[in-house]
Amino acid sequence: MRKRFGFDFYRNMRIRNKLSLLIALIVALSFSATLLVQQYAFSIYDSQIYTKSSQVLNLSSSAIEAELKRIRQISYNVTADGQVQSLLKKIANPETSNYDRLLLRRDLVDRLLSYTGTEPYLLSIQLYDSLGHENAAGNIKALSDAKVADLLSRSDQAEGEQVLLYPDESDSALVTARKVRSYEGTDFSLKRLGMLVIRINIERIVRENAPAEGELLIRSGSDIVYPVHPAFADVGLSEEDSRYGSGYFVGSFGGERYFVSHIESGNSGWMYFNLTPFNQIFERIIFIKELVVFVFVGLLIVVIAWGFRFSRSMTRPIDDLIARMRLAERGNFEEANLLSIDTASVPRDEVGLLHRSFRIMIERINTLITENFKSRLLVKETEFRALQAQINPHFLYNTLESINWMAKMNRQPQISQMVEALGFLLRNSISLGDPLIPLREELGLVESYVTIQKYRFEERLEFETDIPEALMGRTIPKLTLQPLLENAVNYAVEPSMTPCRIVIRARESASEGLLLTVEDSGPGMDPRMLERLRSGEARGQGRGIGLLNIDERIRIAFGEAYGVRVESESGGGTRVTLALPAEDARA
């Protein structure tokens, strides 16, 4: 039903509106296609950026981890160095004098210098012997007692594996510590001889191995490894938002957007983030996007201007022809034929042919009117009315039965149901039987009407009944509920785009009598409209049975104490109540 309504609406539109709609549709499709292509191009470009960033970031992280791995091997070599092992054992020997320990520690520092002098990334090597004395070489920076105690505790638990201390406010170096155990020669007691602490210049490693573009951030879980003071730590790089693994996202910081690619190291488990200003990457894409929008807007203006011009050139001759037809409709055939037009502006296409054919037709009609058209028209009208009078209800019922039979033969149950419902509704509406019928029969009329309207409004019409079986035999005036339901459909269901609920209820009490209520969830009526409806000043849009008619028939049948009551409010639906006697009127 909706599709048919939409088709009829489009078919009955003016040609100018049809052309405008067609142009708008073409522009909308062009814009959609442009947007899809643009988004597809952006997605490909984003994928290429991500792939390239991931490759660069992967190479950088691999280079950084290779240097750290090499330094880790150096720390292992120091702890396994035979000379270092021997010196630490002699220092730990209780029989060694303080002077000898001083000489031994000097030799130990010389040995450590041989490692720091050849490694550019080592800031210092600090070796704490079993007596807690610090033996250091390189760019020495003393560790706080708390850090030393923490490293001692963690290195003891690590059993010879290295532990890390990340850069902080007091020291920008990456600190690695390892427990020194005794395993020189035949001594494999793994007795603790001391602790080796190496300070690594992580900033230099990153600077020499990180990508030139963007900023690098290294995290280990929730701890920041590099840099010590990241200016972009709140760009959305929390442990939950980073989406561990390889990927990318766009974050914001300080009013500027960043393109962030991240990758997880398979060796250390660290997360490497590379942040590049979004505009720096997508500057050309943004320019192309703006250019496309500008070109599209320009084309849109040109197409609309051309469309209006084309529409005007097409519809101007048609408008002139319509003006002639309206004159002819009012009977001014001579004026319609003599209406001055610019013959040069009439094209030699279908519209021009219509103009010429219409002028010939007007001339012939004018001739007929002059001679005997009026008399013949009167005869035809009389014959037409006579033919109409011959069409009786039996012919209509037989026609409906034929349509019903053909619908069933063609397996069209919906058409069959609608025809049956219409036939039932017409038979009961036209029949001249008893004016008072049982409530059950009136509901049959209502059900037939609802069946037809259900095919029209589909899910927009929700119909329910709440009537006790004991009241089904009560008699009411014929055609009272069906017109009320028709009014509810016209004024509640038809103007609403959302589903509308109509309920018919019945209840009986000793004080109020039998009350039949038709309620709807439609837009309702404002107080002034409701007052005019109650007073009879407002008239419905239809030509059926109105509320005043129903009210008068109830009062005539049962007395002035009964009738119709209307309750409604704007936005709150409408409720129409029929007040009938408590006792059966036929009893």
User: Token digits for 373?
Assistant: 């058209």
**How far, in Å, CA of 451 to CA of 423, rounded?**
12
Give the model's confidence band at 453: pLDDT under 50 very low, under 70 low, under 90 confident, else very high.
confident
**How far, in Å, CA of 217 to CA of 250, rounded?**
15
**How far, in Å, CA of 102 to CA of 92, rounded?**
12
Q: Which of 31-40, 158-167, 192-201, 265-274 holds the top average pLDDT? A: 192-201
Contacts of 232 (CB under 8 A, 6+ apart): 215, 217, 253, 258, 275
Which pLDDT belongs to residue 584?
Answer: 56
Which pLDDT belongs to residue 394?
Answer: 46
Q: Give the chain's radius of gyration (CA, Å).
A: 48
Which pLDDT belongs to residue 240?
Answer: 45
Percent of the chain with pLDDT over 70: 73
Q: Which tens digits make up the pLDDT trace of 221-243? A: 778 888 887 766 554 555 444 44
β-pair partners for 544: none
Which pLDDT belongs to residue 383?
Answer: 47
Amino acid residing at 476? I
Which pLDDT belongs to residue 406?
Answer: 64
Q: Which of 180-194, 360-374, 482-496 holds the top average pLDDT? A: 482-496
Q: Which tens digits make up the pLDDT trace of 454-499? A: 877 888 888 899 999 988 888 888 888 888 888 888 888 888 888 8
Amino acid residing at 565? R
Q: Which tens digits make up the pLDDT trace of 281-334? A: 666 767 777 787 788 778 778 877 777 777 777 777 777 777 777 777 777 766
Beta strands in 426-488 (DSSP E): 436-438, 461-466, 475-477
Tell if the pTM clears 0.75, that is, is over it.
no
**How far, in Å, CA of 368 to CA of 374, rounded?**
8
Left, alpha or beta for 243 (phi > 0: left; psi -120 to 50: alpha)?
left
Give the Å distances, CA to CA, from 435 to 315, 476, 556.
56, 8, 12
